[in-house]
Amino acid sequence: MTKIAVLDDYQRVALTSADWSSLVDRAEVHIFSEHIADEAELVAALADFDVIVAMRERTPFPRSVLAALPALKLLVTTGPANKSIDVPAAQELGISVCGTRAPVPPNLEHTWALILACAKRIVAFDRDIRSGEWQNHVTSDLARARLGVVGLGNYGASVATIGKAFEMDVVAWSTNLTDERCEEVGVAHVTKDELFATSDFVAILMQLSDRSRGLVGRDDLRAMKPTAYLVNTSRGPIVDEDALVDALEQGWIAGAGLDVFDVEPLPVDHALRRLPNVVLTPHVGYVTERTYRVFYRDAVEDVVAHLDGTELRPVPFRPPNR
């Protein structure tokens, strides 16, 4: 029997999000609901598995891990690509890497959930009411406030469109952003310095790359208004996390909404966990029922194709628009 490991199923929903019956007589499916961060422990846990299904980038697979898994023949990642997998190394080692389709990213909704949670002090009000308090805070207006969008791709453009629906003044910047793109989306093109100095809400909406790593640094955070909020639903390392902690502790900014972090899961003793002016969610911008149904359904199809001697959706691939 083929042994399949499904990793990082935090919510324990992998088996109910898709129909796995096509594998009943062909494979044994083992669910790992706890994250394994230590590389040696990970290799020991996965040593006997022929197939691994990885949830996004929760568990990295560098060459050192792949080379230590001689039984591994197929690595499935949810989504069409995964920067935490050394795909060239896998290919050299004879390991197929396949992906899945992805529905329209729900991160758009989560970005606005965090913006609204910050502006309307949702978490603080909830905390106060549960402790017997009433109306201890004044909230921020969105109408006529400035939203600074860092990154104006499809995702950023969608966030900007909703900002305009709230009657916000929306501006944008990224390293290669053009006036033509801003005109197409209907937002103002500003410099990085102006965006951080004048925005009431800054939303980070870029992919992590060598160019964007550390893009938002200490000077950018110091330049922000003391009444401003920073929201990051993209990747933690785009923002200097140590500088952000200082900004929150010392009041350079009013607060932050964060769904992503340098190290995930966020360490239990991390400073961000104790700060009252930050809204934290555990990288769940894409964690929705519909997304999981697509991810796990396609993962099952990838495994069945592998067992049948074919390769479905080799990474990287371009899924059709959905």
Instruction: Kindly state the tokens that stand for 10.
Output: 């935090």
DSSP-derived pairing of the beta strands 278-280 and 255-258: parallel
Per-residue pLDDT reduced to its tens digit, 41-67: 999 999 999 999 999 999 999 999 999
**For residues 202-207, average pLDDT:** 96
Residue 279's beta-bridge partner residues? Answer: 257
Where residue 317 falls among pLDDT bands split at 50, 70, 90? low
Give the pLDDT confidence score for residue 105 in this predicted structure.
64
Instruction: Kindly state the tokens that stand for 144.
Output: 């006529």
Residue 196 has pLDDT above 90, yes or no: yes
Give the pLDDT confidence score for residue 313 in this predicted structure.
95
Query: Phi-psi category of 114—alpha, beta or left, where left has phi over 0 and alpha has psi -120 to 50?
Result: alpha
Residue 25's beta-bridge partner residues? Answer: none
Instruction: Kindly state the tokens that stand for 112.
Output: 């606005």
Contact predicate 279/123, CB 8 Å: yes
Contact predicate 72/95, CB 8 Å: yes
Instruction: Kindly state the tokens that stand for 141.
Output: 């207006």
78: burial class by Cβ within 10 Å (0-12, 13-18, 19+)?
Answer: buried
Residue 258 has pLDDT above 60, yes or no: yes
Contact predicate 239/218, CB 8 Å: no
Cα–Cα distance between 274 and 233 in angstroms, integer? 20
**H-state helical runs in the chain:** 39-46, 63-67, 87-92, 107-119, 122-130, 154-165, 179-185, 192-198, 218-223, 241-250, 289-307
Residue 104 has pLDDT above 70, yes or no: no
Give the pLDDT confidence score for residue 316 in this predicted structure.
75
Give the pLDDT confidence score for residue 322 in this predicted structure.
40
Instruction: Collect contacts of 72-76 with beta carbons under 8 A, ≥24 apart.
Output: 72/46, 73/306, 74/50, 74/98, 74/302, 74/303, 74/306, 75/51, 76/51, 76/52, 76/100, 76/299, 76/302, 76/303
Identify residue 113 by its one-letter amino acid code.
A
Instruction: Kindly state the tokens that stand for 169.
Output: 């003044």
* Domains contained in the chain, CATH given: 2-104+287-307 (3.40.50.720), 107-280 (3.40.50.720)
**For residues 208-234, average pLDDT:** 97
- Crossing angle for the helix pair 107-119 and 154-165, nearest 10 degrees? 40
Largest CA distance in the chain: 64
Residue 204's beta-bridge partner residues? Answer: 150, 232
**For residues 141-145, average pLDDT:** 98
Give the rounded percent of residues in the chain with a pLDDT score beyond 70: 97
0.85 exceeded by pTM: yes
Instruction: Kindly state the tokens that stand for 181.
Output: 């793109």
Known catalytic residues?
235, 264, 283
Cα–Cα distance between 118 and 245 in angstroms, integer? 16
Per-residue pLDDT reduced to its tens digit, 22-48: 999 999 999 999 999 999 999 999 999
Where residue 107 falls among pLDDT bands split at 50, 70, 90? confident
Give the pLDDT confidence score for residue 321 in this predicted structure.
45
Cα–Cα distance between 180 and 73 in angstroms, integer? 46
Per-residue pLDDT reduced to its tens digit, 114-132: 999 999 999 999 999 999 9
Instruction: Kindly state the tokens that stand for 267.
Output: 């360490």
Write down the mean pLDDT value for the chain: 95
Residue 197 has pLDDT above 70, yes or no: yes
> Residues 171, 174, 177, CA angle at the centre, nearest 5°?
85
